[in-house]
Amino acid sequence: MSKPALGRGLGALLGGTPVISNPAPAAPFPTTAIHVVPPPAAPPTLMPSPAVGDHVRRVAVTQIRPCALQPRKDFSTESLRELADSIREQGIVQPLIVRAQGNNFELIAGERRWRAAQLAGLTEVPVLVREADDRAVLEMALIENLQRENLNAIEEALGYAQLVSQFQLTQELVATKVGKSRAVVANAVRLLKLPADLQGFIRDGRLSVGHAKVILGLTEEAQQRVAAERVIKEALNVRQTEGLVAKLQTRDGARARNGAKTPRTTDAHVASLENKIRERLGTKVHLRYAQGKGSLDVSFYSDAELERILQILGINAE
């Protein structure tokens, strides 16, 4: 079953995509609205300068530049070759979305298709030209990649973090714009607290997001690296990783008995429960538990965030 489109979708941001005549059979790649443009028999004359409009036009691939705001950085060589083969047979699936940059164009959506088109030997590609500022470009690029599940977890987290830091958006507003929950955005951004080398393990699939969330229970980078290396070397599952993290935390506790602070938790099940509460509330939490007693600290950073947490808990603040 195909994944439903995200809450907002590219259509809402772009104002719809015009229908292109003579459609070819359905493409092998899922899209929100598929229009097939056969490759031209002969290159048509290009317009002398970029112009904004709702009609599909063809431009030289050499006039198009990748966008620095594009959250996707990793492109599989094998996947690009497969797409290039498909383009040779059927043409470009769905026009690229670009914005004018002087006499050239900057990609908003479709960098993978642009790269594959060059591999396929196309000199021109179909595009739709849109007016968009940097924030809109980043939003559209995020939405397109999320709808196609093309981003790895770190790329997704970096996209969210860029919207927050560069454009001063709250995580809740980011979640609304990309059709995700606030908790999903918050937990994605937490992955960026890991050292760069561990983020690399997530990018290449050696560590899963589930493993990473458990490893984040360790506060020291050195221990996070020890845990990650053990997980990869011994092929530990998430539950086994929880046990490993608990042992490392217990070891910290033994070292801290001479006056240092006590460990955050010494039980794998408590650590797992703390992670589940953190994911549900979408904020920092600290669960203390010992022999049936303890406390739960829930952090919030604004009145609006407190109200959101209360709503999740089913509590009316009035």
The DSSP bridge pattern shows strands 124-129 and 57-60 to be antiparallel
Enter the pTM of the model.
0.51
- Same domain for 296 and 243, yes or no, is yes
Given 108, 141, 174, which residue is the final one in a domain?
141
pLDDT score, position 199 = 92
Q: How much is the average pLDDT of 136-149?
A: 68
Q: What is the pLDDT of residue 232?
A: 94
Task: Tell whether the model's pLDDT for residue 207 goes beyond 90.
Answer: yes
Q: Are 178 and 210 in a shared domain?
A: yes
pLDDT of 2 > 70? The answer is no
Q: Are 122 and 18 found together in one domain? A: yes
Q: Is the pLDDT of residue 91 over 60?
A: yes
The per-residue pLDDT for 198 is: 93
pLDDT at 98 over 80: yes
Residue 46 has pLDDT above 90, yes or no: no
- Higher per-residue pLDDT: 54 or 285: 285
The predicted structure's pLDDT at residue 40: 46
For residues 158 and 303, state if they share a domain: yes
Gap between the Cα atoms of 73 and 88, Å rounded: 24
Report the number of distinct structural domains present in the chain.
2
**Would 303 be classed as within a structural domain?**
yes
Report the CATH number at residue 122: 3.90.1530.30
The residues annotated with a catalytic role in the active site are 111
Distance CA 196, CA 307 (A): 34
Structural domain contains residue 71: yes
Model confidence band, residue 145 (pLDDT cutoffs 50, 70, 90): low
- The answer to whether 207 touches 228, Cβ cutoff 8 Å, is yes
Find residue 107's DSSP bridge partners: 98
Does residue 1 belong to any structural domain of this protein?
no
Once rounded to an integer, what is the mean pLDDT over residues 32-61?
A: 54
- 3-state secondary structure (DSSP) of residue 125: strand
Pairing outcome for strands 92-93 and 124-129: unpaired
Q: Model confidence over 110-128: pLDDT tens digits?
A: 888 888 888 889 989 998 8
State mean pLDDT over 237-266: 69
Q: Are strands 96-101 and 124-129 parallel, antiparallel or unpaired?
A: parallel
Residue 75 belongs to some domain of the structure = yes
Domain containing 246 equals: 152-312
When mean pLDDT is compared across 24-33, 89-98, 222-231, the lowest value belongs to: 24-33
Note the pLDDT of residue 256. 52
Report pLDDT for 251: 72
* Average pLDDT estimate for 154-171: 82
Mean pLDDT for 234-239 is: 91
- The per-residue pLDDT of the chain, averaged, comes to 75
Return phi, psi of residue 194, to 5°. Answer: -75, 155
Domain presence at residue 110: yes
Classified as helix, coil or strand, 276 is helix
Residue 226's pLDDT is 92
Distance between CA 315 and CA 318 in Å, rounded? 9
Please report, for the domain that includes residue 299, its CATH number: 1.10.10.2830
Sheet holding 104-109, edge to edge: 57-60, 124-129, 96-101, 104-109, 64-65
pLDDT score of 47 more than 70: no
Confidence of residue 148 (pLDDT cuts 50, 70, 90): low
Q: Which of 69, 81, 151, 145 is nearest to 118 (CA)?
A: 81
Question: Do residues 21 and 136 both lie within one domain?
Answer: yes
- Which residues in 283-317 are b (16+ Cβ under 10 Å) and which e? bebebebeeeeeeeeeeeeeeebeebbeeeeeeee
Q: Where are the alpha helices (DSSP H) in 58-133?
A: 77-90, 111-119
Identify the residue with better confidence: 57 or 138: 57
Is the pLDDT assigned to residue 53 strictly greater than 60?
A: no
